[in-house]
Amino acid sequence: MKSNNRYLGINPKIIKQIRKRARRLKSFRCFADYSIEDIEQELLCETWSDLNQYSGDESGQDAFIHSIIKNRAINLVRKQSCAKRDSKAGILFIDITELGNVIDKSSHFENKVAANIDISTTISKLPKLWQNICYDLQSYSICEIAKMYKISRTTVYHIRRQVRAKLSHLKIYL
């Protein structure tokens, strides 16, 4: 279970944590078909943008690296578990023309696609910060978003409440 990946120019502390988490993830049933290298790459891709946001002192860097990688590993397990049980979480859009006769006519697939389009259109009319928070809420917690944007959790909750109010006319889809 030794990795053959090489990460030249990347902080060794980050690589050590990535490899440690990848070995732990490999023990989960949902990652049984993946190689340790694939898990490392996936985890690094998930965490890379967050790791560059650290702006504190050197002493807190280890804790920051550890928490970011740990949280992204948890998210990977959740996503992988959803995929293994054929959950529809994470599917944003499927082209109806590609499905042909596979669709059950009673499933109201067209209505779901229309709802997705209406919601995306409404979100695109929101302020840029609100749009970003909406998309980030799909994969991050309120606490993580507050840290990412350097705003309080109360502000994130307030923005979420305002976005819900803006989307209230779309309740016919819910």
CA distances from 156 to 39, 55, 135, 140, 167 (A): 31, 21, 13, 12, 16
Specify whether 25 is located in the same domain as 62: yes
Distance CA 39, CA 119 (A): 33
Specify whether 131 is located in the same domain as 160: yes
The domain that holds 169 is classified in CATH as 1.10.10
Domain that holds residue 54: 12-84
Question: Of 55, 84, 113, which residue constitutes the final position of a domain?
Answer: 84
Running along the chain, 174 residues long, what does each successive block of 10 average in pLDDT?
A: 66 83 82 82 81 72 83 82 57 48 54 76 88 87 92 93 84 59
Q: What is the pLDDT of residue 152?
A: 94
Q: How many domains does the chain have?
A: 2
User: Does residue 90 lie within any of the structural domains?
Assistant: no
Specify whether 132 is located in the same domain as 68: no
Specify whether 77 is located in the same domain as 138: no
Q: What is the pLDDT of residue 108?
A: 61
Q: What is the pLDDT of residue 16?
A: 85
User: Does residue 17 lie within any of the structural domains?
Assistant: yes
Specify whether 70 is located in the same domain as 137: no
Cβ burial 131-154 (10 Å sphere, 16+ → b, else e): eebbebbeebeeebbbbbeeeeee
Question: Of 27, 54, 84, which residue constitutes the final position of a domain?
Answer: 84
User: Does residue 91 lie within any of the structural domains?
Assistant: no
User: Does residue 7 lie within any of the structural domains?
Assistant: no
User: Does residue 70 lie within any of the structural domains?
Assistant: yes
Specify whether 68 is located in the same domain as 127: no
